[in-house]
Amino acid sequence: MPNRTTLLSVTGMDCADCTRQVERALCSVSGVHAVEVSLASERAKVTFDPALVTISELTAAVTKQGYGCSLPGTGPDNADLTTRAEWPFAWLIAAFLMLVVVAEWFGLFDRLDDRLPWFAWLLAVLGAGYPVFRKVVEAALRRQIIAHTLMTLGVTAAMLVGEYSAAIVIVLFMRVANYTEHFTMTRARQAIKDLTKLAPQNARVLRNGVEQTLPIEQVQRGDIVVVRPGDRIPVDGVVIEGAATVNQSTITGESMPVEVGPGTEVFAASLAELGSLRIEVWRRGEQTTFGRIITLVEEAETGRSDAQQLADRVASYYLPVISGVAALTFVLSRDPLATAAVLLVACACAFAMATPVAMLASIGAAAKQGLLIKGGRHLEALARADVLLVDKTGTLTLGTPEITDIVSLGTHTEEAILTCAASAEQDSEHPLAEAVRRAADEKGLSFSPPDTFSALPGFGIRARFGTQEVTVGSHRVLDGQTVPKRVRELQKEGKTLLYLLVNGELEGVLAAADRLRSDAVWNVRNLKTLGFSTVEMLTGDHEATAQALAEKLDIAYRANLLPEEKIAVVRRYQAEGHRVVMVGDGVNDAPALAQADVGIAMGNVGTEVAMEAAHLILMRDDWALVPEAVRIARRTMQIVRSNLGFTIAFNTVGVSLAAFGILPPIFAAAAQSIPDLGIMANSARLLRQPHARHEEEGPDHSTRGG
């Protein structure tokens, strides 16, 4: 039986040490192969052998450690703080801090100490701090030290020296710090929560001619779903009846609506703004494109970047170091209050939060723009990348050939040549034949079917119109006839030529090429300005075509490459110490996308291969998203570095002031919330990402060509 990977919701974690405890608990279960736990998302990603261990055994291993554990969506929702309360919550904390400062300044706490008996203070401290103290005791029974252990020792020290009012205020600040951390994490995940709320939970299904509303779990493949104006489409499927204007921004990030009708594929969570539809169901629930997006984003939350792993290692050593500093403070000063202040001001949780909060904010905000990022480690790799490798067909180009030039070599006009070729190619299924017919349609030309039609394998096609025999094909149909210089120049440009012969005489040439995307030149130039030392095109196309396209883009190229040869190029750069980004269409480029440090799949909505192989998926064909992804990654890492820098500086200053007796225990406890709020405010800037395309930086359309 193959290994299985599942996500578990874990509640009750409040520091990096908690994640390590959960990881150790799960790894100790026989049959578990890999575990990744995210403090930020309260998720554990577990890879295990279902023949050796069950889900219930995994959850039991976690709950035995004192944490809540369940499958996502089956346990209680702990998101009791939302972004709607963001500023009131921050002002409440500020007011509480100010109240404590004023009370301490005027000596109100000292007066309370004299008027209330010690046992009243003890009961108040135990009552207010019970949830925290219970965790500390449970951890102690397991021979473990957690972040709250230090704060509990600080409270105990304050009680022993008679600072009862200080002890109760410290407990209150401990609770405030817990709520602040929870609020910070909830704020970071809000963009992802907003996405999940867009998935409809019910659908109008037409069965036996009767319309009925069913939970989405009861909808089956092949059912007919009815969608009315203003409804969100509940499934992936194909329109079989009706027409509507559909906003697909939840899938592609593109705000412009699209017109859909019979035969058009539509996606769950997109909005039918105008018109009604009847849709045949292809996929529902987690199998839809939107469902896979949510699953991939939630899995991405459990993946740790190098920066986060470093922060976790720092946090693991931090508690023993602070304990040592507190002990040294007591030995040298014999001041229990200074010792308590050292234990209270140290904020270990901020180290664990500094990286994931920023990563989550970016992943959620990017998903709303149509950028699906599979994890923080890929953001970090993208921020450091210096080599960009790009596929040609379907990536730099549109992926479909178009007629770019028509050359008349006889008595026929260009329009007559195109009309004649389109008439002859009317029954051909070749992509070039489709390009010819499309060009004729665009010019409004009318053409009639031939009397007879035959394919010439390896040559082209032959059709007869009355007494005229028309042949369209490659150079092999020329039968030794020479072509003028201007036709040879089209060959040098890498274009594919179709020769038109009428009754054996060469009358004209049609040149076809896979057109360059209108915004490719601008955005490749944009990527160069972002510091990529190498930008190179990898293509399986022939040399002339590759060279012509590379010259327009002003980049290096390699032609005639097989998929395995593209992988070899990626590995060669990696062996030289470079961080490599590969941009492809997610199908034949899948191996190279997977091998690269960051694989980016271009606009492959619903493509399984793209979602599996790539590390970053562009949910629409928009090249502007590529440089925007790089900017997001670099901006995220700047925020991460500033979060870590602020946390280190704050704790260094706070512990130093506390050790020298300058920072009293009450203020030390109050300061606990400052790093969390600072990280939240700093990381929240990532939730307001600028749109990928800036109006003042529009693409250079003048470069559009074959």
In this model, does residue 97 exceed pLDDT 70? no
Q: CA–CA separation, 149 vs 139, rounded Å?
A: 9
Q: What is the pLDDT of residues 471-522, one digit of tens each?
A: 998 888 887 788 888 888 887 777 888 999 999 889 999 998 888 887 888 8
The larger pLDDT score, comparing residue 125 to residue 705, is at 125
Per-residue pLDDT tens digits for 182-221? 665 566 556 556 666 777 889 999 988 888 999 888 999 9
Of the residues 625, 659, 678, the one at which a domain ends: 625
User: What pLDDT is attached to residue 181?
Assistant: 61
| Between 562 and 315, residue with greater pLDDT | 562
CA dihedral over 455, 461, 466, 469, signed as positive or negative: negative
Q: Based on the structure, what is the number of domains in the chain? A: 5
Of residues 239 and 131, which shows the higher confidence score? 239
Q: What is the pLDDT of residue 520?
A: 86
β-strand partners of 44: 8, 37
Q: Is the pLDDT of residue 563 over 80?
A: no
Q: Which domain holds residue 26?
A: 4-70
Looking at the fold, whether 392 and 409 belong to one and the same domain comes out as: no
3-state percent breakdown (helix, strand, coil) of the chain, nearest 5? 50, 20, 30
For residues 506 and 419, membership in a common domain is answered with yes
pLDDT: which is higher, 388 or 249: 388
pLDDT at 500: 92
Report which of residues 23 and 108 the model is more confident about. Answer: 23
99: Cβ–Cβ under 8 A, 6 or more apart, which residues?
Answer: none
Statement: residue 577 has pLDDT above 90: yes
Among 138-152, 239-253, 652-666, 687-701, the range scoring the smallest mean pLDDT is 687-701
Residue 174 located in a structural domain: yes
Q: 383 and 439, same structural domain?
A: no
* CATH code (residue 251): 2.70.150.10
In a domain, 209, yes or no: no
pLDDT at 83 over 50: no
Pair (121, 166) in one structural domain:
yes
Task: Give the pLDDT confidence score for residue 634 in this predicted structure.
Answer: 92
In this prediction, residues 351-378 reach a mean pLDDT of 79
Do 181 and 313 have their domain in common? yes
Report how far residue 99's alpha carbon sits from residue 666's, in angstroms, rounded to the nearest whole number. Answer: 12
26-40, 140-154, 422-436: which has the minimum mean pLDDT?
Answer: 140-154
| 3-state DSSP assignment of residue 635 | helix
Same domain, 178 and 310: yes
Q: Is the pTM of this model over 0.75?
A: no
420/113: higher pLDDT: 420
Give residue 84's pLDDT band: very low, low, confident or very high (50, 70, 90): very low
- What is the CATH number for 64? 3.30.70.100
Query: What is the average per-residue pLDDT within 152-174?
Result: 73
Structure-block tokens of residue 65: 């450690």
Which CATH number is 541's domain given?
3.40.50.1000
DSSP letter for 116, please. S
Helical pair 86-105 and 108-115, crossing angle rounded to 10 deg: 70
- Among residues 391, 514, 519, 622, the one annotated as catalytic is 391
Measured distance CA(530)–CA(116) in Å, rounded: 65
SS3 565: helix
Q: Is residue 405 part of a domain?
A: yes
Tokens of 554: 């002003």
Please indicate, yes or no, if residue 697 is contained in any of the structural domains: no
pLDDT of 704 strictly over 50: no
- pLDDT per residue as tens digits for the range 439-467: 999 899 988 889 999 888 768 889 999 88
C-alpha distances (whole Å) from 146 to each of 139, 152, 318 are: 7, 10, 11
Last residue of a domain, one of 581, 601, 625: 625
Strands (E) across 474-516 are located at: 496-502, 505-516
Are residue 171 and residue 306 in the same domain, yes or no?
Answer: yes
Residues 475, 420, single domain; the answer is yes
Alpha carbon distance, N-terminus to C-terminus of the chain: 51
| pLDDT at position 668 | 78
Highest mean pLDDT among 64-68, 311-315, 360-364, 594-598: 594-598
Q: Are 292 and 223 in contact (CB under 8 A)?
A: no
Q: What value does the mean pLDDT of the chain take?
A: 79
Residue 388 pLDDT: 95
Closest to 404 (Cα-Cα) out of 487, 506, 508, 510: 510
Determine what percent of the chain is predicted with pLDDT higher than 70: 78
Together in a domain, 604 and 648: no
Using a 10 angstrom Cβ sphere, with 0-12 exposed, 13-18 middle and 19 or more buried, the burial of residue 78 is middle
Report the distance separating Cα 148 and Cα 134, nearest Å.
10
**pLDDT-based confidence at residue 660 (cuts at 50, 70, 90):** very high
Do the domain assignments include residue 367? no
Same domain, 590 and 647: no
Both 507 and 403 in one domain: the answer is yes
CATH number at 437 reads 3.40.1110.10
* pLDDT for 700 beyond 50: no
Measure CA 434 to chain center.
36
> How far apart are the C-alpha atoms of 665 and 167, rounded to whole Å?
8
Residue 695: per-residue pLDDT: 38
214 belongs to a structural domain: no
391 is catalytic: yes
78 band by pLDDT with thresholds 50, 70 and 90: very low
Residue 680 has pLDDT above 90, yes or no: no
pLDDT of residue 87: 46
User: Does the residue 261 lie in any domain?
Assistant: yes
Would you say residue 406 has pLDDT above 80? yes
Place of tokens 């693991």: 316
Question: Is 593 part of a structural domain of the chain?
Answer: yes
Q: Are 498 and 510 in contact (CB under 8 A)?
A: yes
Same domain, yes or no, for 103 and 237?
A: no
Q: Which of 19-23, 277-281, 530-534 has the lowest mean pLDDT?
A: 19-23
Return the closest-CA partner of residue 8 out of 43, 50, 49, 56.
Answer: 43
